[in-house]
Amino acid sequence: MVNPSFFIACLLFIALNAIVQGVVAAKDKVPVEILKGINDLDKVILRNFRGSSVEVYLYGAQVLSWKNEHGEELLFVSSEANFEPPKPIRGGIPLCFPQFSNLGSLAAHGFARNRFWSIDASSHPFLANSSRTHVDLLLKPTEEDMKIWPHSFEFRLRVTLRPAGDLMLTSHIRNTNTDGKPFNFTFAYHTYFAVSDISQVRVDGLETLDYLDNQQNRTRFTEKEDTITIESEVDRVYLTTPTKIAILDHEKKRTFVIRKYGLPDAVVWNPWEKKSKTIADLGDDDYKRMVCVEAAAIENPITLKPGEEWRGRVEFCAVPKLLQWAA
Ligand code: BG6
């Protein structure tokens, strides 16, 4: 017969031990950490106490991982991605700035995605409280950059992992020209969402809108479908969309909710089978596991006078069920 007080003492010991182990484990996972990533490139990891995490590389200020509390990856990175500057990295969230696609004289999607950013010394990521972690990254042009785009600017990107596991990116772009000149730019958060199978995916919130079809010289069409399914190559800029867009993954029973501010347009891109084979850093079958829905400012470029600042924010939430959607 076991002595009841001994039994209670054992239970108390086990419970206390579990609490101590939990605290130690939580402390082990510091909310903001700088580590070496693939090919020794610096990356910042944000973690919250529920177990969600975000990884952002200083090269391109590119978020390349966003995991939910179960450790499931929510962003797609190509199986053939190059982590070799100055090449861009295919996957995650490349930043298109100061030019979207080939809408200007720069290389496609501008140069922000293949520059080394710094951690903004004026912010204090390591003092972030445990309920909301963030890091601020900064890009200023070099003399070489100013030869191809003759403007001085400061681009601050705040990457925030919220307590519930949502990911938020806020861009602040300021014109710091001293010659009195304004500048124009186009912009996109070129987000590659991970999906189970592209045939099981639909995009809601873009119905009845006008779009420019990049496959047809940006001819303008009106969306006729109630929901967007992807069954062949799609490369469209939907114009002046609602704030909220949803990606429903029927196989995974997951809904990505995208909320965007200061970013009127939204690109939907999937290269499908034939085009994928022409993209060296994309695996032949990768198109089945990704869809890009990109919060953007494309149709009307943003103009900033010296001293002016623009802000564009996007919030992503991954809900573990299929939401009935109403924009
Ligand atoms: C999309 C464009 O945003 O990015 C497509 O609409 C383009 O036209 C795609 O092909 C990928 O661009 P890149 O430069 O990363 O190969």
CA distance 101 to 105: 10
Q: Which residues contact 275 (CB under 8 A, 6 or more apart)?
A: 233, 287
Active-site residue 190, yes or no? yes
Torsion of CA 95, 98, 101, 105, to 10 degrees: -150
Alpha-carbon distances of 3 from 13, 14, 177, rounded to whole Å: 15, 17, 80
- Count CB-CB contacts under 10 A for residue 161: 27
**CB under 8 Å to 51, separation ≥6 — which residues?**
69, 70, 71
Report the C-alpha gap between 91 and 191 in whole angstroms. Answer: 8
The catalytic residue among 294, 299, 308, 315 is 294
Residue 223 falls in the annotated catalytic set:
no
Query: Which of the following is catalytic: 109, 190, 299, 315?
Result: 190
Q: How far is the CA of 47 from the centre of ligand 1 (A)?
A: 30
**How far is Cα 156 from Cα 233, in angstroms, rounded to an integer?**
34
Residues whose CB is less than 8 angstroms from the CB of residue 250 and which lie 6 or more positions away in sequence, other chains included: 200, 201, 202, 322
Q: What is the pLDDT along the chain (327 residues), one digit of tens a residue?
A: 556 665 566 555 555 454 444 434 444 578 899 999 999 999 999 999 999 999 999 999 999 999 999 999 999 999 999 999 999 999 999 999 999 999 999 999 999 999 999 999 776 555 545 556 999 999 999 999 999 999 999 999 999 999 999 999 999 999 999 999 999 999 999 999 999 999 999 999 999 999 999 999 999 999 999 999 999 999 999 999 999 999 999 999 999 999 999 999 999 999 999 999 999 999 999 999 999 999 999 999 999 999 999 999 999 999 999 998 765
Ligand 1-lining residues (CB < 6 angstroms): 88, 101, 108-109, 190, 214, 235, 267, 269, 294
